[in-house]
Amino acid sequence: MSNGELVDTLFYCKDKKGTITFDKLNIEFTGCGWLASNFKSILFLLRNIINGRGYDLLVFHLSIRNIIPILIFKSIFKGKLICKMDLNTESAIKYATCHLQSQTIKYKLMKMMVGLTDIFYIETRRNYDIIKKGIFGLNISEKLKIMPNGVDENLVKVVSQNGGITPRKEKILTIISRFNCEAKAPYRIFDVIEIMSELNISEWTLNIIGKFPESFITDLRKKAVCHNVNIVCEGYNLELKDVYKHLYKSKVFLCLSIEESYCISLVESAVF
């Protein structure tokens, strides 16, 4: 995984399939659900052990969904297992106190994964302080590090034309959200449409970026038509550069999230 060579990388991603090269990563998106993606991860790991490649394994989220590749990795590789936790405060408290409750099979499997993990990265000092004494009954203080989410500075320069031109902001209000996540408060988008209508700003456009079911998008469009509000739904599979472009040209970015571990989209919008 070192020596400046390209690294083969596999990503679980039901909504995206194919390969790209980013920096020194050859990234393959599975295009499959959880079960098929786990099977692909087994083949991926076996192929690389046969080729004699050494790896560290980076997993996103401490989740039972990652247990199969974790167990296989720790069985056949000598590299480190690294977990980027992406943890909100509610989950941090839950992980830190769950050993006081009944110990289910899921609890025991999660505890096993914690024991196998070599390094944990947490995004905020608040959540660091909550879990530093331990999670799932295990002390992780020697494994825990703070790594706040950041912004791709080079990409920002590319999008903003190397900072040499003052952005011509358009009358666009952009929201980044997703469905089936109460903390993201997607249903508040309907309230935004009503407020825009009350303000009589028909020359503005409401730009929605995120993953939503088609029925939700249809309801949004109907609401927008009834309230004479211009709306654009950009979808989910946008590259980061395209997201930055939307933030760059928008006059307003609206964060609807009720709670975030580290609201990266809000930080990114502030850059522009």
**What CATH number does residue 194 fall under?**
3.40.50.2000
Taking the C-alpha atoms of residue 56 and residue 64, their distance in angstroms, rounded to an integer, is 19
* Residue 267 within any structural domain of the chain: yes
Residue predicted with more confidence, 155 or 24 = 155
Q: Is residue 55 part of a domain?
A: yes
Task: Give the distance, in angstroms, between the CA of residue 21 and the centroid of all CA atoms in the same chain.
Answer: 19
Spell out the residues 6+ positions from residue 219 whose beta carbon is closer than 8 angstroms to its own: 190
**140 shares its domain with 204:** no
For residues 75 and 131, state if they share a domain: yes
Which of these three, 146, 175, 206, is where a domain ends? 146
Mean pLDDT of 136-152: 88
Residue 1 in any domain: the answer is: no
Report if residue 14 sits inside a domain: yes
Pair 60, 133 in one domain: yes
Same domain, 11 and 131: yes
132 and 15, same structural domain?
yes
Q: What is the pLDDT of residues 181-205, one digit of tens each?
A: 776 778 899 999 999 999 998 899 9
Stronger pLDDT, 134 or 2, i.e. the higher one: 134
User: What is the pLDDT, as a whole number, of residue 219?
Assistant: 93
Q: Span 166-190, mean pLDDT?
A: 81
Say how many residues make up the chain. Answer: 272
- Do 141 and 17 lie in one domain? The reply is yes
Are residues 178 and 49 part of one domain? Answer: no
Residue 240 inside a domain? The answer is yes
Residue with token string 């590259």: 239
Report the run of H or E that residue 57 belongs to, with start and end: strand 57-60
Do both 170 and 241 map to the same domain? yes
Same domain, 68 and 173: no
Task: State residue 5's pLDDT score.
Answer: 55
How many domains would you assign to the chain? 2
Using pLDDT thresholds of 50, 70 and 90, give the confidence band for residue 2. Answer: very low
Q: Are 59 and 43 in contact (CB under 8 A)?
A: no
268 close to 96: Cβ distance less than 8 angstroms: no
Residue located via tokens 């070599």: 118
Q: Do 73 and 166 fall within a single domain?
A: no
Domain that holds residue 199: 153-271
Order of strands, sheet of 250-253, starting from the edge strand that comes earlier in the sequence: 230-235, 205-211, 170-178, 250-253
Closest CA to 61 of 39, 103, 92: 92
2: in domain: no
Shared-domain flag, residues 45 and 117: yes
Helix (H) or strand (E) run with residue 118 in it: none
Domain end position, chosen among 108, 128, 146: 146
Per-residue pLDDT of 69-99, as tens digits, reads 888 888 877 788 889 988 888 889 999 998 7
For the entire predicted model, the pTM comes to 0.68
160 and 136, same domain (yes or no): no
Domain boundary among 146, 163, 186: 146
